[in-house]
Amino acid sequence: LRDTNEAFEIRFRWSEQEAIASEKGKKMLLAVLFANSEGNILVERFNGVPAEERLHWRSFLVKLGSENLKGIKNEELLVACHKSVYIVYTKLGDVSIYVVGKDEYDELSLSEAIFVITSALKDVCGKPPTERLFLDKYGKICLCLDEIVWTGLLENIDKDRIKRLVRLKPPTDF
């Protein structure tokens, strides 16, 4: 992509299910991505973004991060927006985190979401993660991410509840 504006001009073609959800008033978090310091995607979750547009978003977000995340402190938030699409991104250890939202998921909502995500990531890893530590804890990180964001909606923001939900213990009573 040539510049920031070109990437934001990508039109979102909603699937039938997501269009119905949108008509009912549910706005979505379009994407959550984790990338390493070289720009390789470690984890990605897209909601309402067609498969053919995901490559454009991946490359745009990595390019955006490579240009702007150099020299910032851990958890310092950066924001990009155009029309009704917002991106909040940050760096935590060797991992860059990007959250993309639309409409109701503006920069304030996304900053809350990214705060919960970084908090859960620090809890799982015990410290700001290196790429190796991130990959060692990959399964638990994915479980946490699924508890925080489910089908494009911010589900859980309570740190203690997320910890309880991802313990992976079988039920004790049947």
Measured between alpha carbons, how far is 20 from 142 in angstroms, rounded to an integer?
Answer: 27
Note the pLDDT of residue 172. 58
Q: How confident is the model at residue 2 (pLDDT cuts 50, 70, 90)?
A: very low
Report pLDDT digits (tens) over 68-84: 998 899 889 999 987 77
H/E run at residue 80: strand 78-82
- pLDDT tens-digit series, residues 138-174: 989 998 898 888 888 888 788 888 888 877 655 555 5
User: What pLDDT, on the 0 to 100 scale, is given for residue 170?
Assistant: 54
Query: Does the pLDDT at position 12 exceed 90?
Result: no
**pLDDT mean across residues, the chain:** 81
pLDDT for residue 13: 37
CB count in 10 Å sphere of residue 125: 19
- Is 70 exceeded by the pLDDT of residue 23? no
Distance CA 71, CA 58 (A): 22
Of 146, 59, 154, whose CA–CA distance to 102 is shortest?
154
Calculate the alpha carbon distances from 22 to 18, 32, 116 in Å. 6, 19, 24
What is the model's pLDDT at position 120? 92
* pTM higher than 0.75: yes
How does pLDDT run across 36-80, given as a tens digit for each residue?
989 899 999 999 888 899 999 999 999 999 889 988 998 899 999
Is 157 or 26 the better-scoring residue by pLDDT? 157
| Residue-wise pLDDT tens digits, 100-132 | 998 888 889 899 999 999 999 999 999 999 999
